[in-house]
Each structure stands twice: as C-alpha cells, then as structure tokens.
C-alpha cells in the first residue's frame, strides 16, 4: 500500500510512504504513518494542516487517529476496507465526539483498480508465506 501527502495550494508532493511493518519490524509503519513522519520532518512541524493525504486503502484506526492529531485537511483513498477500515467502517473515528480534528474525506478514486491490485498483492504474499510463491 502507498500514501502521498500533497500541498493542494501548490500541488507539491511533500512526502510519500509505503507499507513497511514487516521489513521495518515496526507495527506502526503503515504507509500513512510513514508519509506523515516524513512530511513532519520536512516541514519541521507535527501539524500538517491543509495538506491532502492520498492513500490506497481506507485508513485503519491507528492511521485515522494520527491523521486527526496531525490536522491533515483532506484524506482521499481508493479502496474501502470493511474489515480494517476506521473511517467509513468499524469505529468511524472521525464521527466520534472525542475526535480532535475531522478532515474532509473522499473515497472511491480508482477503487476497482486499487482493490484489484491489493487483492493480487495479498494473494501473492499468502502464497509466498505458505511456500507456494517464488
């Protein structure tokens, strides 16, 4: 999975991130978190106000919480995640009264393509893990 943070005023890419919990030995190394860490370092500010986060899959609870704390202005994702998503599914974090910041949200951008790529990726990973892959 991937994420990219963009400044909508200039269309400048501030940072990118790829999913890396396994190779980084870090359960928090989701693509969104990696992109937010890089953006905060680049901007020298933990507030990422006004930026737009584009991500492959609906953010999980951890990522949605970090998005709220970072005050990201807008989140756009391609594929919904009924099992692990936390924006439209599960806890619907941005709708909770305790949520500090509610970004604008948009979804479904290239949804079929993203869903197909993600399913293929995870099918291949499961095959490799089970000894059926390369």
Residue 95: strand, helix, or coil: helix
Q: Is 32 a catalytic residue?
A: yes
pLDDT of the residue at 58: 95
Residue in 32, 58, 95, 106 annotated catalytic: 32
Of 12, 37, 96, 104, the residue nearest 61 (C-alpha): 96
Average pLDDT (41-46) is 98
Q: Is the dihedral of CA 100, 105, 108, 111 positive or negative?
A: negative
- Is there a contact between 57 and 18 (Cβ–Cβ < 8 Å)? no
- Given a contact cutoff of 8 angstroms between Cβ atoms, the answer to whether 85 and 60 are in contact is yes
Confidence band for 132, pLDDT divided at 50, 70 and 90: very low
Residue 108: inside a domain: yes
| 20 part of a folded domain | yes
Give me the pLDDT at residue 25, please. 97
Q: Is the pLDDT of residue 134 over 70?
A: no
Which positions make up the binding site for Zn(2+)? 30, 60, 63
Q: Which residues are annotated as a binding site?
A: 30, 60, 63
Q: Domain range spanning residue 23?
A: 2-126
Report if residue 52 sits inside a domain: yes
Least confident of 40-54, 72-86, 95-109, 120-134: 120-134
Dist CA 57 CA 67 (whole Å): 14
Q: Is residue 133 part of a domain?
A: no
12: CATH? 3.40.140.10
Digit-coded pLDDT (tens) for 90-110: 999 999 999 989 999 998 766
pLDDT attached to residue 106: 92
On whether residue 110 sits in a domain, the answer given is yes
Number of domains comprising the chain: 1
Radius of gyration of the chain (CA): 15
Of 71, 114, 67, the closest CA to residue 86 belongs to: 67
Q: Evaluate whether residue 109 is within a structural domain.
A: yes
């Amino acid at each position: 999975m991937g994420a990219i943070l963009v400044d909508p005023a200039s269309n400048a890419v501030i940072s990118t991130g790829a999913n890396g919990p396994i190779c980084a030995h870090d359960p928090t190394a989701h693509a969104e978190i990696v992109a937010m860490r890089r953006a905060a370092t680049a901007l020298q500010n933990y507030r990422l106000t006004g930026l737009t986060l584009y991500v492959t899959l609906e953010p999980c609870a951890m990522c949605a919480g970090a998005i709220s704390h970072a005050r990201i202005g807008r989140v756009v994702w391609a594929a919904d995640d009924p099992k692990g998503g936390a924006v439209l599914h599960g806890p619907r974090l941005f709708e909770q009264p305790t949520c500090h910041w509610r970004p604008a949200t948009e979804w479904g951008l290239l949804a079929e393509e993203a869903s197909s790529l993600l399913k293929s990726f995870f099918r291949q990973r499961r095959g490799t893990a089970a000894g059926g892959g390369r």
